[in-house]
Amino acid sequence: MSCPALRLTLSGSWLLVGLLIAYGSLSGRAQPPEALNYPNVITFGSFSGTICYSNSVLVKTLTPLTSRTFTFTPATALTYVICYNNLLLHPFDAQLVGGGIAATTQTGIVLTSATGKLAANCDAYCM
């Protein structure tokens, strides 16, 4: 003889465990650049690896031209860099300085805007 209430509780527990495992395995995965539907996206390299560096900037200035540099040293070879924002009226430019794709030396991401507002997120992926 089995207890229906106990069976329902156990099946609910297994469902919760399954959902937690599914969420955990999907939440840490990076999305390819095609999934990012933003008006301003700049990429370098080919999408692979895992995120090894991430940073963002939001600066408003009195002069229209503004620039910021993120500097980091990847532990393994740099494979891909993506910089993006969702602000249609505030495009930016990005350049890799030093190091670069396939390097393990110090690399700089130089961001520049000509609108007086620099807003960008950058993610770097390594092997």
pLDDT tens-place string over residues 39-72: 999 999 999 989 999 999 999 999 999 999 999 9
Contacts of 88 (CB under 8 A, 6+ apart): 39, 40
Q: What beta strand segments (E) does 4-116 contain?
A: 40-45, 50-60, 66-72, 78-85, 93-97, 107-113
* Predicted local confidence at residue 37, as pLDDT: 85
Report residue 115 as tokens: 């609108």
Q: Give the rounded percent of residues in the chain with a pLDDT score beyond 70.
A: 73
| Residue 29 backbone dihedrals phi, psi, to 5 degrees | -85, 140
Residue whose pair of structure tokens reads 């939001």 in the numeric block? 58
Count of Cβ atoms closer than 10 Å to residue 74 Cβ: 20
Task: Lowest mean pLDDT of 18-22, 47-51, 84-88, 109-113, name the range.
Answer: 18-22
Q: Which residue has the higher pLDDT, 102 or 12?
A: 102
- C-alpha 63/C-alpha 33 separation (Å) is 32
The pLDDT-based confidence of 95 (bands split at 50, 70, 90) is: very high
Both structure tokens of 17: 């465990």
Residue 36 confidence (pLDDT):
75
Place 87 in a pLDDT band, splitting at 50, 70 and 90.
Answer: very high
